[in-house]
Amino acid sequence: MAKTTDKQYYEQWQRFRDNIAKATPVDLNETAIDKKKRIESLEKKPEQWFKYYFPSFYTSEPAPFHIRATKRILDNPEYFEVRSWSRELSKSGRTMMEVLYLALTGKKNNILLVSNTYDSAVRLLLPYKSLLEVNDRIINDYGQQESIGTWEAGEFTTRKGVAFRALGAGQSPRGTRKDAIRPNVILIDDIDTDEECRNADRIKMKVKWIQEALIPTRSVSEPLLLIANGNIIAKYSCITELGAKADTWEIVNIRDKQGLSTWPQKNSEAHIDRALNMISYNAQQKEYFNNPIIEGDTFKDINYGKVPKLNTCEHVIVYADPSTSNKDKGKGSASTKAVIIVGIKDFKYYVFNVWVEQTNNSVFVDWLFEAENYLQLNKVDIKRIYIENNSLQDPFYQQVIKPLIYQRAREKGRVDVPPIIPDSRKKPEKYERIEGTLQPIDRMGNLVFNEDLKGSPHMNRMHDQMLGVSPNSKTMDGPDGLEGAVWLIKNRVARRNNTYAFAPGANRKF
């Protein structure tokens, strides 16, 4: 994508200014008494104040987390908050409305806006400047803001003495005092870059600058509001370091734990699906779910190849991971789930088919029937479908999943259900299991993924999750299901190769 030139950006800025002016008409016939009452009423209701003065920004009703965040900021003159809100959740927009509220109502008067470069900081500060210049509602109620003299893109002071200054990371913050007033608002926005996050030393230096040069510009005896806006784009970043020290570090993703939009008033499920489907799974996790995936920590690449006929494999197992346990009951049903079909032949483990997605229990049950049908179409005589079912999951399996299986069978006019076997083994930690079971066979070239599915949505998610396997990864449901299948096959092979004989009539069922 071509870089926006200064001329193009200036033209965009002029259009932005014109739109602000058009969007903020005032009632010229309002009496002075009515005007005073209206302003006093708005100032007591910050959400109404935002909606009135910033109609170009306040285009959707707020979500509960927006309202709670604003209350924290406006109620606490001395506060340190880190906002790791997903893209499209208005981190910068809401912060700007809060800061201008504090500035115009006389509660804060020396604001620093800091970003990864000076140019970036200037561009983030321009909406503040534009609103103060051409927003007729602000001018009508709080007076002309633009002053003669210090009124530049990177530094300006209103007629009432409220100072704004842009600062790039690493620049000297000296000279940020306005008269006798030290900065009492520091905004840190978009401080991390992908390039810098690949170098821990650069992050350390930037964090050191924030802690030793930027924050000490404050007055010790006067309250400071410090807000840092930024997604978690790396496991170690300025945001993660600042978040560890903040009074509040709020992480809000585009969807909640139930798989539902966290701001449905603005972002519908269809809108989110459209945005996510245009980018890779790893990009989704970093940009919208605060879950940066470090590719290749455990599995450097995925080995795709031609798979044999399924019914020629020595063992075939379907392994299903419903993800949700009984402790999640009542919190919604959407979570990342997986169903994997694995077969072994000549010491190689083949991944024939996969279903991996954040979805609900009904779709998950459909996958179980689809997996059974896959086995039937490929003429597999002995069908084994295992479902992860530890002690936490068993009540959920009995109360939710199992009834859904019977319901779906009745809907299909069947007199039986798929041959499902609960896997109740007590498992070690997820990463340790995946690394210990799968990495050795992958290293030997004995883990092969069906090349016919390469590029399909479910296999793409499986691919990205495999590359993202690491001790800190939050999303490993596909690899976890694969580990379950491989572990069961290995143990079946081991039992078959045992030399001891079973006593007559002994229970030999696995």
Of the candidates 401, 270, 277, 290, the one whose C-alpha atom is nearest the C-alpha of residue 337 is: 401
Average pLDDT over residues 229-237: 92
Percentage of residues in the chain having pLDDT higher than 70: 88
Contact assessment for residue 453 and residue 353, using Cβ atoms and an 8 Å cutoff: yes
Q: pLDDT-derived band of residue 330, with 50, 70 and 90 as boundaries?
A: very low
Whole-angstrom Cα distance, residue 339 to residue 368? 7
Reported confidence tier of residue 326, pLDDT bands at 50, 70, 90 = very low
Three-class secondary structure of residue 304 per DSSP:
strand
- Looking at residue 1, its pLDDT comes to 40
pLDDT at 507 over 50: no
Q: Is the pLDDT of residue 462 over 60?
A: yes
Q: Which of the residue ranges 76-85, 306-315, 489-498 would you say has the lowest mean pLDDT?
A: 489-498
pLDDT of 325 over the 60 cut: no
Residue spans in the chain of domains classed CATH 3.30.420.320: 304-496
Best CATH choice for the domain 63-288 from the list 3.20.20.140, 3.40.50.300, 3.40.1710.10, 3.40.50.2300: 3.40.50.300
pLDDT surpassing 50 at residue 339: yes
Residue 19 has pLDDT above 80, yes or no: no
- What average pLDDT does this structure show over 358-385? 93
Fold of 304-496: Nucleotidyltransferase; domain 5 (3.30.420)
∠ CA 445-450-454, nearest 5°, is 110
The pLDDT value recorded for residue 495 is 63
Mean of the per-residue pLDDT values of the chain: 88
Residue 295: per-residue pLDDT: 67
Residue 234 confidence (pLDDT)? 87
263 contacts: CB under 8 Å, gap ≥ 6: 60, 63, 66, 88, 89, 90
| pLDDT at residue 168 tops 80 | yes
317 within 8 A of 384, measured Cβ to Cβ = yes
Q: Residue 24's pLDDT is what? A: 78
What's residue 308's pLDDT?
Answer: 97
Cα torsion for 152, 158, 161, 166, to the nearest 10°?
Answer: -40
Out of 79-83, 376-380, 463-467, least confident range = 463-467
Query: What percent of the chain has pLDDT above 90?
Result: 65
Phi/psi at 264 (5° precision) = -65, -25
- Give the model's confidence band at 506: pLDDT under 50 very low, under 70 low, under 90 confident, else very high: very low
Alpha helices (H) in 210-353, listed in sequence order: 238-243, 269-277, 281-288
22-80 tens-digit pLDDT: 677 788 888 999 999 999 999 999 999 999 999 989 999 999 999 999 999 999 999 99
- Which of 61-65, 266-270, 293-297, 359-363 is the least confident region? 293-297
In Å, what is the CA distance from 149 to each residue of 104, 123, 130, 158? 20, 20, 16, 10
Please write the tens of the pLDDT for every residue from 344-361.
999 999 999 999 998 889
Across the range 245-270, mean pLDDT stands at: 95
Which amino acid is located at 217 in the chain? T
Answer yes or no: is pLDDT of 15 > 50. yes
Question: What is the pLDDT, as a whole number, of residue 10?
Answer: 61
Confidence category of residue 300, pLDDT binned at 50, 70, 90: confident
CA pair distance 367, 376, nearest whole angstrom: 14
CB contact set of 324 (below 8 Å; sequence gap of 6+): 333, 335, 361, 393, 396, 400
For residue 508, name the pLDDT band (cuts at 50, 70, 90): very low
Check residue 210 and report its DSSP letter.
Answer: I
CATH 3.40.50.300 domain locations along the chain:
63-288
**d(C-alpha 54, C-alpha 23), whole Å:** 8
Residue 233 contacts residue 186 (beta carbons within 8 Å): no
Report CA-CA distances (Å) from 219 to 180, 197, 216.
10, 31, 8
Across 422-444, average pLDDT: 88
Residues 6+ apart with CB under 8 A from 98: 46, 70, 73, 74
Sorting pLDDT into bands at 50, 70 and 90, what band is 298? confident
Entry pTM: 0.69
